[in-house]
Amino acid sequence: MEGAHRESTSRIGRTVAESSPHWAPTEHSAGPNVLLIVLDDVGFSQLGCYGSSVSTPTMDRLARDGLQYTNFHVAALCSPTRACLLTGRNHHSVGVGFLADYDTGFPGYRGEVTPRAATIAEVLRDGGYGTYACGKWHLTPPQHMTPAGPFRSWPTQRGFDRYYGFLWGEDDQFTPELWYDQHRVDPPAAQGYHLTEDLVARAQEFLSDHLTARPDDPFFLYLPLGACHAPHQSPESYRQRYRGAFDHGWDVERQRVLQRQIDSGLLPAGTELPPRNPGVAAWDDLDALHQRAYARFQEAFAAFMTHTDDQIAVLLDFLRTHDLERDTMIVLMSDNGASGEGGADGSANEYRYFLNLPDSFEDTVAALDDIGSERTHNHYPSGWAQAGNTPGKFYKKYTYAGGVHAPLIIHWPAGLGGKTGLRRQFHHVVDLAPTIAELAGLEFPRCHRGVDQMPVHGVSLRYTFDEPNAPTARTQQYFETAGYRGIVRDGLKAVAVHEPGDDFDQDRWELYDLARDPSECHDLAERHPDRVRDLERLWWSEAEKYGVLPLDDRMGARVTSMDPASDRRRYVMLPGARIMSGVVGPNFAARSFVITAELDDEPARDGVILAYGRRAAGFSFFVRRGTLTVDYNLAGRHTIVRASEVALPSTRRLQMRVGAPDGRPELALLADGRELARARIPQLMPAGLGCLSVQCGHNAPSAVSSDYRAPHRYPSGLVRVIIELADRQEDAARGVADGDIAGALAQQ
């Protein structure tokens, strides 16, 4: 293919006159263009064509004019699904058994895709495609998220020619942390900026470049949107469109969605709704204020979905304008079920969930008019998540249908030959990469770049295009996420009921007949104990085969198991520098720390000295109007500590010290060793902020503090900032409870 090394057949003489040149003919792939759109945390029933009340006319059209799958499954979390999607292998086998944020030291849980599993992007690029990715990646371990790499797990070294998007699992839609190829960039300074609009615009730019420079080559565009993961944010006009649309509540909504699913043939007649998930209240039992608040969260989600649909329409208009839609296979899916992480009440700031901080309904009421705007980092209540997973129960991360049953649409006018409608075959996300490879006329290599490759685990869906009722080519699939287990074989599904910390051998297995009971309402385990035992044995066999073991039911606590050698205690940062995570950068959680700014012979000036985080959470150490200040932002709850006097012109050393000398957290500000302020803070940096960056001499993309506007750069005179972290074991020995930062300022 084009770009591959070829032996020259030129005849070489002493001079040009004595030589004969030769040019090998350029080869072009005959495969279709491929547009792969991945929605985030979108449940089975959150598209209009899957029963939702939310308006998604563009995606509905793709389903109407293409194939709509009713029995498609994914892993129950984003990174594992994406690993399956791009490699055609099971996620544990390729090293992404859990989120990419964690490397627990075991082969199935390294947080990055092994080089033994070439991605579909690598296959297509080697086969002559132009390959482009715009959006969420979440397959790079945090220790690699630096401007200096290593880049081996970044999109541009896993098969994509170009990349634009965000590396973490979620981001603020109005002020995201963006990367362009392998360098960080600020969002465009446009009025009314929104990430989805930006990603679609960048995708069009990449395609325009491709069509201009390589008009004879097909393209692969991977568009993993941030939508509709929390925060559910969209322009005000979209939010206004849904005012009052969900006042009927989640119980009525579930009934309406189920009826539409049955009427459209998505589900068999007689499908039942499972009971409300634990912790979800009956809507009619809520008072008017709770109903109003909860409905507002769902309005924000619906607005986000419709805004996303409109942006997909913009991209499809681009394809039509350039006569590309007919020859482009569009695959649209979601990575897992709707998320219940908002809890019973929802949250105006989802970081309180990540940080295990208390949330309150009063905070929600106070922020009600801002829900869905840039002023909140909102997540809807779990009752709406269950409605979004209709008819399934539970949510993302669980191996019940609510976590792993997902929408899938394939639209390809030239390749489907006019065939449309529902497809009911059981399939899994590992099957999409082999499908794309087959249609491109390519195969996954046995050896890639000198590395022997593991077998592909997926099977192609191509047979379903022509035969709506063909028997499924996939008869079984295991599931596992953080200790939650399940397995499907020949239409029967077994699920292990597990609570984190419990003995896995004591888990009770449930049994469901998916053909008759897709909502998993009727447990058949007692009637068929032999089948349950067979499926449990099969699960253990598959777990050993695909690298699931050792079983690990920790969620955020996995961070404590990471390589202690990666826990540096001293960092020196220069102005303008940024460190992306608490793995490669300073981890302020559960310890004392001191931040020291060294100035040159200029007086202290207004600007950010060091910031950790963004508008939603973190802290900022800055000078404002000559006053040294810290804004300590615990997920929207601000503690402001200001120096008692304006910084003196002769100051050369500014410090922020955090610790708990008597077990009570406090913060102190010093200039040249002289204390200027000391104050109690409500609690000290909890774990869970590892996805936030540390910025020296500025604060972007959004400001931790409302005292200034981002980036509030320190103009000049800042030489370096030194961060010193106390040893965790020393802090623990001082007896301060986990969750506080232990240690004494006096002992630093």
Q: Does one domain contain both 324 and 425?
A: yes
Are 282 and 276 in contact, with CB atoms under 8 Å apart?
yes
Q: Report how far residue 559's alpha carbon sits from residue 583's, in angstroms, rounded to the nearest whole number.
A: 9
- The predicted structure's pLDDT at residue 744: 28
Residue 605 pLDDT class (50, 70, 90 cuts): confident
Say if residue 491 is in the same domain as residue 381: no
Q: Do 137 and 151 contact (CB within 8 A), yes or no? A: no
Question: Residue 297: pLDDT band by 50, 70, 90 thresholds?
Answer: very high
Q: Report the C-alpha gap between 610 and 597 in whole angstroms.
A: 8
Residue position matching structure tokens 């709770």: 290
Looking at the structure, do residues 421 and 298 belong to the same domain, yes or no? yes
The answer on 499 and 381 residing in a single domain is no
Q: Based on the domain organization, do 643 and 700 belong to the same domain?
A: yes
pLDDT digits (tens, 9 = 90+) for 394-431: 999 999 999 999 999 999 999 999 999 999 999 999 99
Does the pLDDT of residue 438 top 80, yes or no?
yes
484: part of which helix (H) or strand (E)? strand 484-489
pLDDT tier, 445 (very low <50, low <70, confident <90, very high otherwise)? very high
DSSP alpha helices (H): ranges in 367-455? 382-388, 401-404, 413-416, 432-439
Domain assignment present for 269: yes
Whether residue 581 is predicted with pLDDT greater than 80 in this model: the reply is no
Q: How confident is the model at residue 370 (pLDDT cuts 50, 70, 90)?
A: very high
Shared domain check, 708 and 584: yes
The whole-chain average pLDDT of the chain stands at: 92
Q: Percent of the chain, pLDDT > 70?
A: 94
Question: Is 144 within a domain?
Answer: yes
pLDDT of residue 745: 29
610-629, pLDDT tens digit by residue? 999 999 999 999 999 989 99
Instruction: Say if residue 730's pLDDT is above 60.
Output: no
Domain boundary among 513, 535, 557: 557
For residues 538-542, give the mean pLDDT.
98
Strand order in the sheet with 627-634: 578-579, 694-696, 607-614, 617-624, 627-634, 637-642
In a domain, 649, yes or no: yes
Per-residue CA distances from 300 to 233, 346, 378, 380, 705 (Å) = 7, 12, 9, 8, 25
pLDDT surpasses 70 at 737: no
Domain check: are 371 and 342 in the same one?
yes
Amino acid identity of residue 2, one-letter, is: E
Share of the chain above pLDDT 90, in %: 82
Query: Coil, strand, or helix at residue 408?
Result: strand
- Report for 184-193, 555-564, 579-588: range of highest mean pLDDT: 184-193
Q: Which pLDDT score, from 0 to 100, does residue 47 have?
A: 98
Question: Cα–Cα distance between 656 and 530 in angstroms, integer?
Answer: 64
CATH number of the structural domain spanning residue 68 = 3.40.720.10
Is 5 part of a structural domain of the chain?
A: no
Mark whether 609 and 668 lie in a shared domain.
Answer: yes
| Domain annotation covers residue 616 | yes
pLDDT > 60? residue 742: no
With a cut of 90, say whether residue 25 has pLDDT above it. Answer: no
**For residue 740, is pLDDT > 60?**
no
Residue 453 shares a structural domain with residue 524: no
Measure the CA–CA gap between 291 and 697, rounded to whole angstroms. 44
Query: Considering the domain boundaries, does residue 320 fall inside one?
Result: yes
pLDDT tier at 162, thresholds 50, 70, 90 = very high
pLDDT value of residue 689: 67
Tokens of 574: 């220069």
Q: Are residues 651 and 527 in the same domain?
A: no
pLDDT, one tens digit per residue, over 87-121 is 999 999 999 999 998 899 999 999 999 999 999 99
- Range from 291-305, 363-377, 547-561 carrying the lowest mean pLDDT: 547-561
Confidence of residue 560 (pLDDT cuts 50, 70, 90): low
Tell me, yes or no, whether 412 lies in a domain.
yes
Q: Radius of gyration over alpha carbons of the chain, in Å?
A: 27
Q: What is the DSSP string of 35-94?
A: EEEEESS--TT-SGGGT-SS--HHHHHHHHTSEEEEEEE--SSHHHHHHHHHHSS-TTTT
Handedness of CA 230, 235, 237, 240 (dihedral sign): positive
Pairing of strands 219-224, 33-39: parallel
Q: Of the candidates 446, 466, 486, which is a domain's last residue?
A: 466
Query: How many structural domains are present in the chain?
Result: 3
Same structural domain, 567 and 494: no
Residue 563 has pLDDT above 80, yes or no: no
- Please state which of the ranges 159-168, 373-382, 554-563 shows the lowest mean pLDDT: 554-563
pLDDT at 743 over 50: no
Of the candidates 709, 492, 720, 494, which has an alpha carbon nearest to the alpha carbon of residue 620? Answer: 709
Residue 286's domain comprises: 33-466
Q: Kindly report the CATH number assigned to the domain that includes residue 521.
A: 3.30.1120.10
* pLDDT > 60? residue 4: no
* Confidence band, pLDDT 50/70/90 cuts, at residue 28: confident
589 has a pLDDT exceeding 60: yes
Rounded CA-CA distance 745/748 in Å is 5
| Mean pLDDT to the nearest integer, 217-227 | 98
Q: Looking at 406-410, 577-581, 582-586, which range is the least confident one?
A: 582-586
Does residue 531 sit in the same domain as residue 621?
A: no
The last residue of one of the domains, among 526, 557, 588, is 557
**Residue 21 in domain:** no
CATH number reported for the structural domain that contains residue 615 in this entry: 2.60.120.200
> In the predicted model, what is the mean pLDDT of residues 333-356?
93
701-725 pLDDT per residue, tens: 999 999 999 999 999 899 999 999 9
Q: What is the model's pTM? A: 0.94
Q: Report the pLDDT value the prediction gives residue 29, as an integer from 0 to 100.
A: 83
